[in-house]
A and B are shown apart, each in its own frame.
Chain A
């Protein structure tokens, strides 16, 4: 049974701080890693994807992947109240389904 684990939170950070969201996965064959954001009552939307070990930056967001440790994280710099949402980690192996963690709720206070 493939598992993707996330701390449910809530993670509370003040505006302007760095938010760090973490995710571990059980399947060593996983090849693709995704971070989605879901606002209450809305569908998930993609923030970033990462395939290779190391860091990938996109604006205020940085995804970090460590396949040896089966760990992927998302850093949000200069957090804004509009970043308050649930962040979903998703993991995929070629030819298999995209499996999601239960999500971490982030609250950014102004």
Chain B
């Protein structure tokens, strides 16, 4: 596709269940970011993938959160044993990387996660 694609758009899950959120970046973009945005709040950085380098996981809020990126393309964010405070919009973005610089990041439409 032409843009960053995220699925599902909306997810309602019961507390304690595991969820998987998917991000399909723009073709050729080597950098991929996951952010979380709670209602009325800013973008909280979660994890950053850049090519074949080890991902920057410094933003993951707990060990219940993990993410992987297969084949340098599609990424999956997994939240285990979901809690109500995990309810938020999860945004994925991707960008090109050339020289030592990243170009601008393009965002997907987000996944709205609601934990009941």
Chain A interface (Cβ < 8 Å from any Cβ of B): 31-32, 34, 43-46, 49, 51, 88, 90, 92, 94-103
- A43 near B45 with CB under 8 A, answer no
Would you call the interface of chain A mostly helix, strand, loop, or mixed?
loop
Partner of B56, one of A45, A51, A97: A97
A96 touches B48 (CB 8 A): yes
Most B C-beta atoms less than 10 A away, residue of A43, A90, A103: A43
A43-B109, A45-B107 known; A100 and B43 CB under 8 Å? yes
Task: Write the chain A residue with the least CB distance to B42.
Answer: A102
Chain A nearest CB from B85 CB (Å) reads: 18
Q: What are 12 pairs between A and B in contact, CB < 8 Å?
A: A34-B104, A43-B107, A43-B109, A44-B91, A44-B107, A46-B104, A94-B101, A95-B53, A96-B48, A96-B56, A97-B56, A98-B102
Given contacts A43-B91, A97-B33, A98-B93, whether A31 and B108 have CB atoms under 8 Å apart is: no
Within 8 A of A (CB), among B57-116: 58-59, 91, 93, 95, 100-110
Q: Which residues of B contact A88 (CB under 8 A)?
A: 42-43
Q: Are A32's CB and B102's CB within 8 A?
A: yes
A89, closest chain B residue (CB):
B42
B106 & A46 in contact (Cβ 8 Å cutoff): yes
Contacts of A43 in B (CB 8 A): 91, 107-110
Question: Are A103 and B42 also in contact (CB < 8 A) when A95-B50, A98-B93 are?
Answer: yes
A44 touches B43 (CB 8 A): yes
- Is the Cβ of B42 less than 8 Å from the Cβ of A97? no
Question: Which A residues are CB-close (under 8 A) to B41?
Answer: 102
Which residues on B sit within 8 Å (CB–CB) of A32? 101-102
B40 CB, min distance to chain A CBs, angstroms? 9
Q: Do residues B48 and A98 form an inter-chain contact, with CB atoms below 8 A?
A: yes
Query: How far, in angstroms, from A97 to B93 measured CA to CA in the complex?
Result: 11
User: What is the CA–CA distance of A92 and B106 in the complex, to the nearest angstrom?
Assistant: 14
Q: Are B42 and A101 in contact (CB under 8 A)?
A: yes
